[in-house]
Amino acid sequence: MKRLSFVALALGVLTASSPRSAEGQYPSAMGPYGVRTIEDLVLHDSLRHREIPLKVYYPAARGPFPVIVFSHGALASKDAYSALGEYWASYGYVSVHPSHADSIADSGYSGTLKQAINDPNAWENRPRDVSFVLDALAHVDRLAPELKGELDLSHIGVAGHSFGAYTASLIGGTTVLIPGHRGPQSFADKRVAAVVMLSPQGEGRLGLTADSWDHLRLPVLIMYGSLDFGPFGEPPSWRNEAFEKAPPGDKYDVELEGANHMKFAGFAVAGERPDRTFQSVKYDTLAFWDAYLKRDPIARRYLKDLKVAPEVGRLATK
C-alpha cells in the first residue's frame, strides 16, 4: 500500500538551480520546490525472501532529479530522518529511504541496539538492500506512476546515519571481514557517485580493520560531533577514521562542537529553536550533493573555500 501526500511548498527568492544566498551561503530553510512523499511503497526481493519498505520524498516539479538513498540507524525506519529527506527534495533531489531488517517499526525487530550492530548478517544485508533498491528504481514507476520521469539514475548518492553510515560506507567501497567468509568483503556499487556518512564507525567494530577504507575512493563527506561517542565507549575521534585512512581526493571531514550522536538525526522537539548542529548538517550535505551529483562548479568552490569557526567545529579536507 502506498500513500501520496503533499508536504510543503516553500517559495522564496532562491532559484531551483542556485539555492545559495546573496552572500554565497547555503540556507538551512526549505528550498524552492514543493515536496511530495510516497509512503508504504514495498519492494520484494525474491532471492533473499525479503520485503523492503520505502518512503520517497521528491520535488513537486518535472524531473529528472538526482537520487539519494538514505540508510537509517539501527532500530529506526524509513520514517525517521524526514527532516533531511524533505530538505534535500526541496532543493531538487529524490530522497529514497528504505527500512532495513533491524527496524522495530517496519520489520518487527525485537533485539537490542548492540545485537543489531553486531549481527554479521546485517553487515551483508544492509548494503544489499541499498543495491536492490537501486535495481528496483529503474522500474519503480510500475508501482508508483507518479515517479515516472522524476529519477535521474545517472547521478546517485548514498547517505546514512550511524549503522546507516556504515551501510553507505560499504556501498562506497569500504571492505569488512565477515565471519565465515575468506578475506575482506566488498559491497561497492559502481552506480553510486558520492557518499555522506553521519557518525560513522572506526576500526575494531563491525568487521572494520585498518585496511577497510583502502578502496573508498568516491567523494565522501563525513560529519560527527565532539560528544559523539561510540556505542562501546569509543572516543569521538574514532568516527573520523574513515577520513584518516581512506585515499585522498574529494574527502571532507567535519567535527561539530558540542554535538552528540543523536543531533544528526534531526529530531525536533515542539517549541525548540532550530538546532545549530542540524542546520550545519543540512546545508553542508546540500552543498556536497550539489557539487558531486549536480556537478555545480559554484558548489565545488563553496566546499573548497568552506571555513568553520572554532566554536562551531573543525574541518579537514584531502
58, 89 in Cβ contact below 8 A?
yes
Quote the domain boundaries for residue 55: 3-317
Write phi, then psi, for 164 (nearest 5 degrees): -70, -30
Count of domains for the chain: 1
Query: Which candidate, 121, 206, 116, 204, places its Cα nearest to that of 169?
Result: 206
Each of the 318 residues of the chain gets a pLDDT tens digit; together they read: 333 332 322 222 223 334 554 344 677 789 999 999 999 899 999 999 999 999 999 999 998 999 999 999 999 999 999 999 999 999 999 999 999 999 999 988 999 999 999 999 999 999 999 999 999 999 998 889 999 999 999 999 999 999 999 999 999 999 999 999 999 999 999 999 999 999 999 999 999 999 999 999 999 999 999 999 998 899 999 999 999 999 999 999 999 998 999 888 876 444 445 577 888 899 899 999 999 999 999 999 888 887 777 777 899 999
- The model's pTM is 0.90
What DSSP letter does each residue of 106-154 carry, written as one string? HH---S-HHHHHT-HHHHHHHHHHHHHHHHHHTTGGGT-GGGTTTEEEE
CA distance readout (Å), 23 to 17, 281, 282, 297, 308? 16, 19, 17, 16, 16
Q: Kindly state the DSSP code that residue 264 receives in the 8-state scheme.
A: G
Whichever domain contains 168, its CATH number is: 3.40.50.1820
State how far the Cα of 192 lies from the Cα of 164, in Å rounded to an integer.
Answer: 15
